[in-house]
Amino acid sequence: MTRLAPFDTPRLLIRELRDEDLNDIHEIKSDPEVVRYLNWGPNEHPGQTRTNLRAQIALQKIVNRTVFVLAIEERESGRVIGNATIVFQNGAKKVADIGYFLGPASWGRGYGTEVTAAVRDLAFTRLNALRLEALCDVRNEASIRCLKQAGFIIEGRKRRNQQVQGEWRDHYVFGMLREDDHPVMNGEALKDELEQLELKLQSPEVRTDAGEIERLLHDDFFEFGSSGVAFTKADCLDPAGIGVRDFRMSDLECRQLSPDTALVTYRVYDATRDHRTLRSSVWKKADGRWQMYFHQGTIVK
C-alpha cells in the first residue's frame, strides 16, 4: 500500500496531501498559536511550507511506507484545516505514533475529537496497527481531553523529554491497543455525531441527493416506515431523492450497543403531513464512517 483512500467523518475528510493544499497549510503553520505545543515552527515564509509539503507528498510513493502525513479537509468548505500524522516506529508496522494540529478557526467545534477518533480508526482498520501512542504536552488541556474522549489512556509522564519553542517540557504518554474495550468516543461526542447524521438525512439537500443518500445508508439498510411499508437501500436511491418534508426533531437519545453499533431514538413532528412519530435508528460503523443500518417510525397522537 502506498496512497490511502480518503477516510470520511461526518464533517471532515482525512486524505492524502496535494500540491494545491499549500496556501491553506501555510496559513495554519505560520500561526504561532498553532505551534505553541509543537517542536517546530512557526513557518516564516511559504517556501518553507512548500518544501515540507513536497517532501510529505513524496512519502506517498514509498512502497513499504511507514510515515503518513494527511490533510484534514472540512467537507462543508473544502478547505484544509490541519494535518494528521501516523508514524510507525519500525518496519513491522505494528506500533505507531499519532498526532494532529488544527488552525484556530476550527477550534472549539469538536473537530479535535473527531480527528483523533478518525486517525485511530484509520490506523487500526486500514493500516492494521496493533498499538497506538501519542505524546501530549501536559499543559495542552484541549488535546488531553480529545485523546481521552477517543479512548486513549495516560500510561505515563515523561519529564523534560522534548524542547518545545525554546523550553524543555513534560509530556503525557497516551496509549491504546487494538483489542482494548473502549468506546468509539465518549457518550456525548457520539450522540452529537449521530444527531448530525440524523439531521442530514432529514435535510432537503440530502433527501434530494442520491449520492449523499448512498453514502449515509448501509448496503443492508432497511426501514419500516410509519405507513407500515418496508424499504431497502435500493428503494431510496431514486434520482429524485426520497421526498422533502419539514421535519422537527426532539428528545434524541443515543445508546452505544458495541464499539461499531449504536441505537438512536427520538421524536419527530412532520409539519408537512402534520403528524408525530417516534423514531429509532441503528447505526453501524465501518472504515471510520457511520451508516444507518435500520430505521423505524411509529405514528403517535
Summarize the confidence of residues 211-220 as an average pLDDT: 90
Evaluate if pTM is beyond 0.75: no
Fold for 187-300, please state it.
Answer: Nuclear Transport Factor 2; Chain: A, (3.10.450)
- Residue 168 CB burial class (10 angstroms; 0-12, 13-18, ≥19): exposed
Measured CA to CA, the distance from residue 185 to residue 263 in angstroms comes to 14
Residue 187: predicted pLDDT: 57
Whether the pLDDT of residue 155 is over 70: the answer is yes
Residue 60: predicted pLDDT: 95
Residue 221: predicted pLDDT: 93
Q: How much of the chain, in percent, has pLDDT values that exceed 90?
A: 55
Would you give the end-to-end CA distance of the chain in angstroms? 55
Q: Which helix (H) or strand (E) holds 265?
A: strand 261-270
Measured CA to CA, the distance from residue 72 to residue 77 in angstroms comes to 12
Whether the pLDDT of residue 184 is over 60: the answer is no
Number of CB atoms found within 10 A of residue 275's CB: 14
Among 36-45, 69-78, 175-184, name the one with the lowest average pLDDT.
175-184
- Residue 115 CB burial class (10 angstroms; 0-12, 13-18, ≥19): buried
Residue 182: predicted pLDDT: 53
Q: How much of the chain, in percent, has pLDDT values that exceed 70?
A: 96
Whether the pLDDT of residue 54 is over 50: the answer is yes
Q: What is the per-residue pLDDT across 74-95, written as a single tens digit (0 to 9) for each?
A: 988 999 999 999 999 987 889 9
Whether the pLDDT of residue 179 is over 70: the answer is yes
Whether the pLDDT of residue 209 is over 60: the answer is yes
22-31, 119-128, 219-228, 277-286 — most confident range: 22-31
Summarize the confidence of residues 190-205 as an average pLDDT: 85
Whether the pLDDT of residue 113 is over 60: the answer is yes
Q: Bigger pLDDT: 259 or 159?
A: 159
3-state secondary structure of 196: helix
- The C-alpha angle with vertex 173 and arms to 88 and 160, in degrees rounded to 5, equals 110
Domain coordinates of the chain in residue numbers? 7-177, 187-300
Q: Is residue 185 very low, low, confident or very high in pLDDT (cuts 50, 70, 90)?
A: very low
Q: Is residue 186 very low, low, confident or very high in pLDDT (cuts 50, 70, 90)?
A: very low
Residue 291: predicted pLDDT: 93
3-state secondary structure of 242: coil
Tell me which architecture the domain covering 7-177 has in CATH.
3-Layer(aba) Sandwich (3.40)
Q: Is residue 36 very low, low, confident or very high in pLDDT (cuts 50, 70, 90)?
A: very high
Closest CA to 86 of 59, 114, 113: 59
Summarize the confidence of residues 255-277 as an average pLDDT: 87
| Residue 18 to residues 24, 31, 60, 71, 84, Cα–Cα distance (Å) | 11, 21, 10, 8, 14
